[in-house]
Amino acid sequence: MNEPVAPTRASRAVRPSPQEIFVEENADTMQTINERGTGSSGESQTFKHTTAKLVVVYAPTSWGWESREVPSTNVRLVIGAGMRYNCGDCNGDCSPDPRNPQYNNCPGRPKFATMQCPVCGKLAYDFGARSVNADLLNGVNPSRASDADGTLIEDPVFAGTSPAQRLSASLSTHMRRYHEIEAEARGLGREGTAAELAAASAR
């Protein structure tokens, strides 16, 4: 009587990784969209069309991992290019809504300093304080120029900035773009940020 042969390591099925499972479950998935419109005779009708689903993935940035939405038809491409199915900082789903991201929800990195728009409440985050994924991105942090020939001029204006300066500049840009009247009322004209305008008026 022949004894059963135990399966060898090579013959055992390889278990797919969570990322491979994510790709297989989400790549090329489609959805049906219902839209109301007016037909040729003027009556209200519901029109249906099929399109690719939007899938949330995480992309490397200069400061960490950010959730993005991509069409399901591009899932294999973006995962192959370095994006992930989850956050690379905490290995979790810490900011699942790219349309309203909560960057400080991630437990895998220090919290960002923030400043809030007084009109709409949008938060500006001090992303300039981090540079954790520079090795994953091309050209994020260009190497510092040497001054071997003595021609490099350094101006304090372009030296390191503080969180308050970076956030003020970011929020000033937001105000001028989305709240033009409120920006003008606060002295945030098109000429520059509040700090720039204050410096100009002091001359």
Domain that holds residue 176: 112-136+160-203
| 90 shares a domain with 121 | no
| 124 shares a domain with 74 | no
Task: Indicate the SS3 state at residue 79.
Answer: helix
What are the pLDDT tens digits along the chain (203 aa)? 566 655 555 556 788 999 999 999 999 888 887 777 776 777 777 778 788 889 999 999 988 999 999 999 999 999 999 999 999 999 999 988 998 889 999 999 889 999 999 999 999 999 876 666 655 665 444 555 666 677 877 777 767 778 888 899 999 999 999 999 999 998 887 655 545 545 444 44
pLDDT at 203: 40
DSSP secondary structure of 115-175: EE-TTT-PEEE-GGG--S-GGGSTTSSPPPPP-TTS-----GGGS---HHHHHHHHHHHHH
On whether the CB atoms of residues 124 and 45 are closer than 8 A, the answer is no
The neighbour count for residue 87, using CB atoms within 10 Å, is 22
pLDDT at 121: 92
**Helix H or strand E segment including 200:** helix 194-201
Task: Indicate the SS3 state at residue 26.
Answer: helix
* Rounded-to-integer distance, Cα 84 and Cα 80, Å: 9
- Does a structural domain hold residue 64? yes
* Rounded-to-integer distance, Cα 46 and Cα 38, Å: 8
- Does a structural domain hold residue 8? no
pTM > 0.75: yes or no: no
| 55 shares a domain with 93 | yes
Q: What contacts 128, CB < 8 A, 6 or more positions away?
A: 63, 161, 163, 166
| 70 shares a domain with 131 | no
- Does a structural domain hold residue 141? no
pLDDT at 36: 75
* Rounded-to-integer distance, Cα 156 and Cα 49, Å: 57
Count of domains for the chain: 2
| 132 shares a domain with 173 | yes
